[in-house]
Copies of this chain bind each other. A is one copy, B any other.
Amino acid sequence: MRGEPLDAETIVSATEELLRRHGPNKTTVLDVARQLGVSHGSVYRHFASKAALREAVIRRWLDQVRDELAAAHDPGQPPAERLRALLTAMFAAKWTKAREDPELFATFRVLAAEHSTVSSGHVGFLVAQVRDIIVDGVAGGDFAAGEPDVIARAVVNATSRFHDPKHASEWHSPETEAESAAVVSLVLDGLRAR
């Protein structure tokens, strides 16, 4: 019926567009199909459910955040500075998304509450990044020894207020940046070898 072949990527893009414009409650599978000029049955050929479609949007969005974090990575720096940079970059990425894409961010929060798999996978990636830096830091004598996995998770938990979407409403406050810096410094002091 149409020239271009309908693929998953096209559907995800159209869905993201609609989510951004109309928000999660006003974006139906029927809307997505209309936007693409196909029947909604065709969308279900590519995604098993509405939830799966939304999940695909969120997943792509989180992958983008992940790539931004990877880009902020500078192996030349000492571990403490690398960790500070990683955490700061993550906060900035989340804060920016929450400010600039509020509709998509709302969708993310809804979905993160429903299917915790996607977001816990994201947290897992983050913990792994932190863990790698801690392992390096311990090996180089910069950080005190300990269980890297436990400590990495403690670092992520201690900074929840600045990256967990549950706290998004607090990120507008002008003190947020200073408070996050204070927590990061406290955490880094806690990691350092004595």
**Taking A189-B190, A190-B188, A194-B194 as contacts, is the C-beta distance between A154 and B182 under 8 angstroms?**
yes
State whether the Cβ of A166 lies closer than 8 Å to any Cβ in chain B: yes
Q: Name which of A23-31, A39-47, A90-98, A155-163 contacts chain B.
A: A155-163
Q: Is the CB of A157 within 8 A of B182?
A: yes
Q: Is the CB of B167 within 8 A of A160?
A: yes
Q: Is the CB of A153 within 8 A of B167?
A: no
Least CB distance, A124 to chain B, in whole angstroms: 14
- Find A167's partner among B150, B166, B183 (CB 8 Å cutoff): B166
State whether the Cβ of A179 lies closer than 8 Å to any Cβ in chain B: yes
Copies in the complex: 2
Measured between beta carbons, the chain B residues less than 8 angstroms from A65 are none
Measured between beta carbons, the chain B residues less than 8 angstroms from A128 are none
State whether the Cβ of A191 lies closer than 8 Å to any Cβ in chain B: yes
- Find A144's partner among B155, B183, B189, B191 (CB 8 Å cutoff): B189
- Find A157's partner among B155, B183, B191 (CB 8 Å cutoff): B183
> For chain A residues 142-194, which have a beta carbon within 8 Å of chain B?
144, 150-151, 153-155, 157-161, 164, 166-167, 179, 182-183, 185-192, 194
Measured between beta carbons, the chain B residues less than 8 angstroms from A185 are 154, 190
The count of residues in chain A whose C-beta lies closer than 8 Å to any C-beta of chain B is: 26
Question: Which of chain B's residues has its CB closest to A182's CB?
Answer: B154
Measured between beta carbons, the chain B residues less than 8 angstroms from A154 are 179, 182-183, 185-186
- Cα distance A166–B194 when bound, in Å? 35
Q: Besides the contacts A158-B159, A160-B160, A185-B190, what 9 more A-B pairs have beta carbons closer than 8 Å? A: A153-B182, A154-B182, A154-B185, A158-B187, A166-B166, A186-B191, A189-B189, A189-B190, A192-B194
Q: What are the 3 closest A-B residue pairs judged by CB atoms, nearest first?
A: A190-B190, A189-B190, A154-B182
